[in-house]
């Protein structure tokens, strides 16, 4: 998870803005339908969960070195976890509210900003298509700005403290940690921290955008198996 926009994502956003502005200018009567389509695509891109370090697998060969099928139940007894999760979800809630905010302020653009653009272009552009294209281009750029600027600052704050990932069940294999249907492969940079009193082991890695917390009643045995697959104690 990162506050920075990758070059590939930036290029995709620029291309999509231009494409939707062109289509909207060509079919102004369907502008709101086109906008809703763009908005849905934008939300899919922005809410796509980052899964660096994850590898989807259907099955893993060999027997598990360790398994815990009640991790979530054990975690629910950790009294401090509720406070941690509240702190984690607070900035995420702001991101969920942003789409509603965008819909509410969209009329501001058309009532106040768009007329200014039209008046400016009236004296230098004769083509109505070009005028419409620039209006819609500015509109989509406006939407992107409203969505991404708050998100940038929120995500930058989130990155300063990695989010927790707590699997419901997990298995330790030689190939890595099989958690909730996905494989977290071990790396040389990964290390673990043991918390005996709260019944969990946390795995930290610069390659992961989150901290993996594994709840179990057999904390010491889990730590031994993590060392066996190549992790070291932080």
Evaluate if pTM is beyond 0.75.
Answer: no
Structure tokens belonging to residue 145: 């700005």
pLDDT at residue 2, rounded to an integer: 46
Q: What is the pLDDT of residues 121-131, one digit of tens each?
A: 988 988 999 99
Question: For 158, left (φ over 0), alpha (ψ -120 to 50), or beta?
Answer: alpha
**Residue 54 in contact with residue 184, Cβ under 8 Å?**
yes
pLDDT, averaged across the chain: 83
Q: How confident is the model at residue 105 (pLDDT cuts 50, 70, 90)?
A: confident
- Residue linked to tokens 């300063």: 160
- Higher-pLDDT residue of 89 and 200 is 200
Structure tokens belonging to residue 191: 């290390």
Domains with residue ranges and CATH for the chain: 7-48+86-160 (no CATH), 51-70+169-234 (2.30.29)
Beta-bridged to residue 165, according to DSSP, are 212
For the segment 152-172, the average pLDDT, to the nearest whole number, is 78
């Amino acid at each position: 998870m990162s506050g920075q926009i990758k070059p590939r994502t930036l290029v995709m956003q620029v291309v999509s803005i231009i494409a939707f502005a062109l289509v909207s200018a060509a079919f102004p009567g369907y502008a709101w339908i086109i906008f809703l389509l763009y908005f849905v695509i934008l939300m899919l891109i922005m809410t796509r969960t980052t899964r660096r370090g994850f590898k989807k697998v259907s099955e893993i060969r060999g027997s598990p070195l360790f398994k815990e099928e009640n991790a979530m139940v054990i975690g629910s007894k950790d009294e401090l976890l509720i406070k941690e999760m509240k702190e984690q979800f607070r900035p995420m809630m702001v991101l969920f509210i942003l789409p509603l905010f965008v819909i509410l302020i969209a009329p501001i653009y058309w009532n106040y900003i768009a007329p200014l653009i039209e008046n400016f272009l009236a004296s230098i552009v004769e083509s109505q298509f070009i005028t419409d294209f620039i209006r819609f281009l500015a509109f989509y750029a406006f939407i992107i700005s409203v969505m991404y600027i708050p998100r940038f600052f929120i995500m930058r704050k989130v990155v300063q403290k990695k989010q927790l990932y707590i699997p419901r069940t997990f298995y330790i294999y030689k190939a890595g940690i099989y958690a909730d249907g996905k494989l977290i492969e071990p790396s040389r940079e990964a290390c673990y921290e043991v918390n005996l009193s709260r019944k969990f082991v946390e795995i930290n890695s610069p390659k992961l955008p989150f901290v993996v917390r594994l709840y179990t009643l057999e904390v010491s045995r889990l730590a031994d198996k993590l060392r066996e697959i190549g992790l070291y104690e932080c």
